[in-house]
Amino acid sequence: MHRFHLPPESWDAAALDRDESHHCTNVLRLGPGDKVAVFDGRGRESHGVIVSASSGRVALKLSAPSSRPAPSCAITLAQAVPKGKNMDLIVQKAVELGAARVVPLLSDRTVVQLTSAEAEKKRAKWREIAIEACKQCGQNHLPDIATPVSPKAFLEREAAGELLLIASLQPDARPIKSVLADISASLQRLPFRATVLVGPEGDFTPAELALAKSHGCHPITLGPIILRTETAAIYCLSVLAHELFAAR
């Protein structure tokens, strides 16, 4: 059954927006009487039937909704924007791995540099990629995609969580499980919020690493092999999801 994003504010009207309506009628060739599924990005989902499709607007009749709880830990991926289309891949995989938020970082060694207008355009594109990933993988929780910021701005204004990590190639980096064991012992439970920073090609600069550590970030190693930045992001999210999404 085809899935569509129906934002919370459109739930009562039960009508797809212009982009989703176009995809429904012009790409998938669906029409009145066809069955679909919708989700609001906050865990709610419902099955429905198309009752009309005209003037770029698809109206639906929805069944009683159901709700899927969010993962037990809200994970933020703060990711230095890589070259090419690799950020698209990272956003897609972050959705599949249950991240609650993705914050693109413009670090000192980030090749991609954006103006304010370009940053907003990129954010809109990445949000669309996140929506498409939700539709494809059955994820009902749409992660927040933040506007790109510098690591300094993120650490000073936005970084939050009971578990703050930064991927590092430096000698003081520790395995994720080791850091998690210490934090869990201190909290006497698994953390409810976690943030991991992943650097660009060439890693974060020593100054950026020092700044992150001054804000409470624990440097973590991802093993003896140097990973590409997109691989590092997937690795971190996979390990954190495995360790932190367990039943409590």
Q: Which CATH number is correct for 74-244, 2.30.40.10, 3.90.1150.10, 3.90.320.10, 3.40.1280.10?
A: 3.40.1280.10
CA dist 9 → 70, 127, 174 (Å): 19, 17, 44
**DSSP code of 115?**
-
The domain spans of the chain are 3-67, 74-244
Domains 3-67 and 74-244 share a fold: no
Please name which of 160, 192, 165 lies closest in space to residue 178, comparing C-alpha atoms: 165
Across 31-35, 102-106, 107-111, 136-140, least confident range: 107-111
* Paired strand residues for 186: none
Dist CA 243 CA 182 (whole Å): 13
pLDDT above 80 for 99: yes
In angstroms, how far is CA 186 from the centroid of its own chain? 27
Domain boundaries 3-67, corresponding CATH code? 2.40.240.20
* Per-residue pLDDT reduced to its tens digit, 189-226: 999 999 999 999 888 999 999 999 999 999 999 999 99
Longest alpha-carbon distance in the chain: 62
pLDDT band, very low/low/confident/very high, at 160 (cuts 50, 70, 90): low
Across 80-89, 108-117, 135-144, least confident range: 108-117
Q: Is 19:61 a contact under the CB 8 Å cutoff?
A: no
* Per-residue pLDDT reduced to its tens digit, 50-75: 999 987 899 999 999 999 899 999 99
Dist CA 164 CA 193 (whole Å): 9
pLDDT above 50 for 248: no
Q: In this predicted structure, what is the pLDDT of residue 246? A: 66
CA dist 117 → 85, 113, 120, 122, 183 (Å): 19, 12, 5, 9, 39
* Per-residue pLDDT reduced to its tens digit, 19-50: 999 999 999 999 999 999 999 999 999 999 99
pLDDT band, very low/low/confident/very high, at 116 (cuts 50, 70, 90): confident
Q: Give pTM, 2 decimals.
A: 0.92
